[in-house]
Structure formats: structure tokens, C-alpha cells
């Protein structure tokens, strides 16, 4: 049995040392360290790793970290929502998102043409610039073929961005498919709709993409998931793993709670009742803001993987 140890600051303490020390503090600190250790196990075991995240995380500065992880080939598959796609593209087009306040005068922001995501502000101008760039991209895709599974379309868009800090670009460059089952739930979906009005034979095939994620892994492979937040991103990944025998490793990071009955708050234990996670799997759930918890757990894991020679 492990025992509580007093946390003591040391000059020059590294992130790895910090998270390791927090592992003996108690409460969510223990889960944070456990999550990091499970991520290491995923990579050491050769498991197929799913990284899922909601769009607000790509709106934040985690965007660059996700791109870096793709460049390092930490995930094998990524699943997200359409806001991530749009705002990753906007940043690649040179847009900047301001850091504001959680309690501003929202009507005043509306009058100024500013949209608020928590304490991050995205201007209407960013969406206007996005619109001017998207249509030419769709024209080029349409000229190549008429039917595009979502992940294949996103690979082509990513390569066209040519931005080292872009999630889409790094994923495409490193052979990591990005799945976005709710592709119409945002500005990009609206532009796909408008494009299809002029080109009725243009199809974005979400059903074919479901086949793509199913066949991206198998019953025989070990599988791990790092689910940041919940919703469709989380469920799309773990449901595909249910159909392939269930996950061997799972790390959930969320601010939601199980009492809501939502996918965002659904626990790893609940997932076992469905067969989405195997009964003997290694799991951890960290309750807290992912902009804090994920970098801490992931950096500790990266340091350990590098020291062990798993990362070059």
C-alpha cells in the first residue's frame, strides 16, 4: 500500500519530478501521475494510440502542443470536432486569438464582432478570412475527385497549409489520420453545404470514414486512448475500439462529472460495462482543466519515454 508523502519544493525541480512528487500527495494529484505512467505504458507496449480532444482545446495554445505530439508520432489516430479544424486553419492563415476575461460585457463583444470561447476571443474577421481561403481549397479537392471521406479530405487540407505549428499539417505529414465525425457542426460545415449547392455531386462521406477508423485497428492490436474532454470526439474513438475488442489503456481528462450521465463525464468503469474498455485495462481519470493537467502528465511521460529510448 502506498502512503501519503509531504510535497516539498526543490530548486530547479523539473516537470517530471513535480508530477512524480504529486503522485504521493493524494486526491487528483495521484490520478495525474497515474495518467502519465499509463501513457508511457501505451507507447512501450506498441499500442495503437487514439488522442481525442474537443475544439476549445485547439482554440487555446494547446494547439501547438498537439501539433508537436503529431510530429513526434505520439498518437496514431486523432479525433476531434470541427471547431478544432477551423481554428487550426485560422491560426495557419495568420489569425491571432486574444486572451480576454471570463466575465466581460458579452453584448459589447457582439457589437464589436468578437466571439468568446471562455476567456479567448475570436473575431468575425477571422471567420471572414477563413471563408475566403476555404472555397479555393474545396475547388482543388473537387477537381481531383467528387467524393471525400472526412479524414482523407483533412489530410489534403493539412498538407496545403504547410505550417509546422498546425495540427492538420503535422498529422498529414506524419501519416496520422484526423477523424471529425461532426464535420458539419460549424463554419466549415456551412461552407461545405454552400459548396455543394453549386456542386451537387460533391460528397463528404462520413459513413466511409467510419469504416476507415474501424479498419485502422484490429481485435489483435493493443489499443490505448487519451481522451481530453468528451462528447463526440471521445465516443467516436472508444466506440470504434468497442467493435475491435476494447481498449487496453485509457486516460480520461475532463471537468465533467459522472452524475450528469453525459459522455463527457462517463467514467472508465462505465465504459467497461459496454466493453469499450477491457476489464483488466490500465485506466486513470483526471478531473481538472486540461490546459493544466494534460501538459503536466504528457511532459512527464515524454521525459520518461525519451530516457528509456522509446522516443528518439
In this structure, what CATH number is given to the domain that contains residue 84? Answer: 3.40.910.10
For residue 79, is pLDDT > 90?
Answer: yes
Q: How far apart are CA 95 and CA 68, in angstroms?
A: 19
Active site residues: 276
Residues 259-299: pLDDT tens digits? 989 999 999 999 999 999 999 999 999 999 999 999 999 99
- The contacts of residue 220 (CB under 8 Å, 6+ apart) are none
The answer to whether position 228 is within a domain reads yes
The answer to whether position 303 is within a domain reads no
Give the chain's domain count: 1
Residues 110-119: pLDDT tens digits? 999 999 999 9
The answer to whether position 16 is within a domain reads no
For residue 1, is pLDDT > 90?
Answer: no
The answer to whether position 234 is within a domain reads yes
The answer to whether position 148 is within a domain reads yes
The answer to whether position 297 is within a domain reads no
Give me the mean pLDDT over the 104-129 stretch: 97
Q: What is the pLDDT of residue 235?
A: 97
Residue of 298, 297, 293 lying closest to 255 (CA atoms): 293
Place of cell 510530429: 71
For residue 312, is pLDDT > 80?
Answer: no
The answer to whether position 41 is within a domain reads no
What residues make up the domain containing 212? 46-95+126-292
The answer to whether position 68 is within a domain reads yes
Give me the mean pLDDT over the 45-52 stretch: 98
Half-sphere exposure of 223 (CA within 13 A, CB side): 27
Q: What is the dihedral sign for C-alpha 294, 298, 299, 301?
A: positive
Amino acid at each position: 500500500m502506498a502512503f501519503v508523502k509531504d510535497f516539498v519544493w526543490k530548486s530547479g525541480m523539473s516537470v517530471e519530478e513535480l508530477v512524480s512528487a504529486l503522485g504521493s500527495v493524494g486526491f487528483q494529484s495521484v490520478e495525474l501521475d497515474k495518467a502519465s505512467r499509463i501513457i508511457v505504458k501505451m507507447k512501450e507496449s506498441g499500442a495503437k494510440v487514439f488522442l481525442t480532444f474537443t475544439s476549445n482545446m485547439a482554440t487555446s495554445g494547446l494547439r501547438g502542443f498537439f501539433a508537436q505530439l503529431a510530429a513526434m508520432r505520439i498518437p496514431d489516430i486523432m479525433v476531434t470536432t470541427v471547431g478544432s479544424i477551423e481554428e487550426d486553419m485560422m491560426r495557419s492563415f495568420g489569425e491571432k486569438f486574444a486572451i480576454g476575461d471570463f466575465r466581460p460585457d458579452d453584448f459589447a463583444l457582439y457589437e464589436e464582432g468578437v466571439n468568446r470561447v471562455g476567456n479567448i476571443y475570436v473575431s468575425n474577421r477571422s471567420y471572414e478570412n477563413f471563408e475566403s481561403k476555404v472555397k479555393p481549397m474545396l475547388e482543388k479537392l473537387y477537381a481531383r475527385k467528387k467524393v471525400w471521406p472526412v479524414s482523407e479530405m483533412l489530410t489534403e487540407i493539412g498538407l496545403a497549409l504547410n505550417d509546422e505549428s498546425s495540427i492538420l499539417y503535422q498529422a498529414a505529414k506524419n501519416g496520422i489520420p484526423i477523424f471529425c465525425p461532426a464535420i458539419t457542426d460549424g463554419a466549415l460545415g456551412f461552407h461545405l453545404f454552400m459548396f455543394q449547392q453549386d456542386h451537387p455531386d460533391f460528397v463528404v462521406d462520413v459513413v466511409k470514414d467510419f469504416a476507415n477508423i474501424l479498419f485502422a485497428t484490429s481485435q489483435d492490436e493493443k489499443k490505448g486512448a487519451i481522451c481530453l474532454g468528451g462528447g463526440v470526439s471521445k465516443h467516436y474513438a472508444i466506440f470504434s475500439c468497442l467493435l475491435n475488442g476494447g481498449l487496453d489503456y485509457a486516460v480520461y481528462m475532463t471537468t465533467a462529472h459522472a452524475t450528469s450521465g453525459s459522455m463527457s463525464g462517463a467514467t472508465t468503469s462505465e465504459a467497461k460495462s459496454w466493453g469499450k474498455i477491457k476489464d483488466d485495462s490500465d485506466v486513470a481519470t483526471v478531473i481538472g482543466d486540461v490546459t493544466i493537467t494534460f501538459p503536466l502528465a504528457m511532459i512527464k511521460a515524454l521525459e520518461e519515454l525519451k530516457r528509456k529510448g522509446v522516443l528518439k
